């Protein structure tokens, strides 16, 4: 499993380790360079000591060093050797410590001597300097003629330098390892502290269940990096809470809706069993009515579920709106007349809409039957189709509805009448219509008009072209 803490620890350690290795290497090589430079300067000084003791006479080049010069030097821990040649001749001087072995004849200019490492005759590692020089003349006469050039190579044991460099390397490696060892817990502690708000968030999130969705994460106390995430989590919780609440209410309403017809059916059957009487059609009609009511509710719920899951196949065609409206209105006209409703239709006769006829018809049936059902006696009902906007408005006077009820109008099983008396409407029509509208890329909304009417508005969810303007309008008034 991926762990941010583990990943961060690994990345930090790798980065820190690389930085440490680079720094240590740089320290080592810079120190080595400085020490070598110092060592070489010391070699050069030795070479010049010998050169200054070298003279060129008629009998050739000879070195005037005290006899015990090299013996004393070699008594130290660092043996020293030198050998001198004439450029065009043989060896003219050499240290007594060089027995039969010659030093390599390698040299640079006086101002740029050659330095190199070499194995010393004793087997130790050594370092040498080689340069070409002009020895000073022994007397005045010799000075007048150009002196012959000579080459000197001075070598010395470099064990002490190597020991120093090795010690430095060991110190640096040990210091590096110790630093890494100390850094690991330090990084862990730092990350732990840095992650504390995340852990707190995690613990808080772990306590949230379906029953405690009302709780929210405290944003103010969190670091600013976590605040946007936590705010989003709080928003999510809020949406979840609303969704759970809606589902809970829906389940409770559904149970209630089914309990009453079930109670009717059961008590009806039990009464008939307890006090049997000659069976008549009325009994069966009662049972049939209850069954139809329950069937209608279950069917609508299934349709709603299918709509929500997008399982309804659409068949888009050109639908004549006025014709469809008349077809839908026909079975409702009698009830509207009984209630003495003032009905006003304003639908262009040639209005067309590209839609799925079945779903569009279902929406119209729901909107119109709802309006007829809930418009009070002698109320007003207006159905208007705006061809240019492809917008349908069904407005009717209302009695008990208030603007506070608008957000609930499209909730499943919501009914203004808390007693839920009556059997024809179960509060699913508008929820279903909105779902169908959404499938048809339409929006269904509700608003209150200035004359205290409820307007249900069906219109394209996104702007779209409507039929040509100035088309003929069918205007019908019915009372």
Which residues make up the interface to other proteins (CB under 8 A)? 252, 255-256, 259-260, 262-268, 270-271, 274-275, 286, 289-290, 417-421
CB 473 within 8 A of CB 346: yes
Q: Which segments of 154-218 does DSSP mark as H helices, in order?
A: 159-206
How far is 203 from 224, CA to CA, in rounded Å? 19
CB 129 within 8 A of CB 83: no
Residue linked to tokens 């009998």: 59
Residue 14 burial (C-beta neighbours within 10 Å; 0-12, 13-18, 19+): exposed
> DSSP string of 328-358?
HHHHHHHHHHHTT-EEEEEEETT-EEEEEHH
CA distances, 169 to each of 32, 38, 180, 365 (Å): 10, 18, 16, 91
CB 445 within 8 A of CB 410: no
CB 252 within 8 A of CB 412: no
Q: Give residues with Cβ within 8 angstroms of 337, minimum separation 6.
A: 478, 479
Q: Give residues with Cβ within 8 angstroms of 160, minimum separation 6.
A: 77, 78
How far is 122 from 165, CA to CA, in rounded Å? 21
CB 100 within 8 A of CB 183: no
Name the pairing type of β-strands 442-448 and 473-478.
unpaired
Residue linked to tokens 């339409």: 442
Neighbouring CB atoms inside 10 A of 390's CB total 21
What is the number of helices (H) and of strands (E) in the chain? 9, 16
Residue linked to tokens 């209105």: 329
CB 407 within 8 A of CB 428: no
Residue linked to tokens 């309990």: 259
């Amino acid at each position: 499993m991926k762990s941010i803490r583990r990943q961060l620890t690994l990345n930090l350690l790798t980065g820190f380790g690389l930085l440490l290795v680079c720094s240590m290497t740089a320290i080592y090589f810079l120190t080595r360079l400085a020490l070598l430079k110092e060592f070489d300067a010391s070699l050069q000084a030795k070479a010049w000591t010998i050169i200054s003791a070298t003279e060129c006479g008629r009998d050739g080049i000879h070195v005037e060093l005290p006899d015990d010069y090299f013996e004393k030097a070699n008594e130290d821990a660092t043996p020293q050797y030198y050998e001198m040649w004439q450029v065009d001749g043989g060896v003219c001087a050499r240290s007594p410590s060089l027995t039969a072995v010659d030093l390599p004849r390698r040299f640079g200019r006086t101002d740029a001597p050659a330095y190199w490492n070499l194995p010393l005759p004793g087997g130790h590692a050594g370092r040498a300097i080689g340069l070409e020089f002009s020895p000073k003349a022994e007397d005045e006469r010799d000075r007048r003629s150009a002196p012959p050039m000579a080459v000197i190579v001075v070598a010395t044991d470099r064990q002490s330098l190597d020991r120093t460099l090795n010690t430095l390397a060991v110190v640096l490696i040990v210091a590096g390892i110790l630093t890494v060892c100390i850094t690991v817990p330090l990084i862990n502690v730092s990350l732990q502290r840095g992650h504390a708000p995340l852990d707190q968030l995690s613990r808080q999130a772990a306590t949230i269940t379906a029953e405690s969705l009302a709780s929210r994460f405290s944003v103010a106390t969190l670091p600013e990096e976590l605040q946007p995430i936590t705010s989003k989590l709080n928003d999510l919780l809020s949406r979840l809470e609303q969704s759970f609440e809606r589902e809970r209410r829906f389940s409770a309403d559904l149970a209630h809706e089914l309990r009453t017809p079930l109670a009717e059916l059961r008590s009806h059957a039990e009464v008939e069993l307890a006090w049997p009487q000659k069976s008549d059609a009325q009994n069966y009609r009662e049972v049939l009515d209850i069954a139809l009511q329950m069937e209608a509710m279950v069917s609508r719920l299934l349709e709603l579920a299918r709509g929500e899951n997008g399982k309804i196949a659409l068949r888009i065609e050109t639908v004549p709106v006025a014709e469809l409206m008349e077809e839908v209105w026909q079975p409702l006209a009698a009830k509207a007349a009984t209630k003495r409703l003032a009905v006003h239709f304003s639908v262009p006769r040639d209005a067309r809409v590209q839609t799925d006829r079945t779903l569009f018809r279902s929406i119209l049936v729901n909107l119109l039957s709802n309006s007829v059902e809930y418009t009070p006696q002698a109320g007003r009902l207006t159905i208007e189709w705006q061809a240019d906007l492809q917008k349908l408005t069904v407005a009717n006077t209302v009695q008990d509805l208030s603007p506070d009820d608008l957000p609930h109008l499209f909730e499943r099983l919501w009914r203004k009448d808390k007693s839920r008396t009556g059997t024809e409407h179960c509060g699913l029509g508008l929820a279903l219509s909105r779902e169908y509208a959404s499938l048809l890329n339409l929006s269904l909304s509700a608003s209150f008009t200035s004359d205290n009417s409820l307007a249900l508005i069906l219109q394209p969810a996104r702007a779209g072209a409507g039929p040509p303007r100035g088309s003929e309008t069918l205007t019908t008034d019915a009372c």
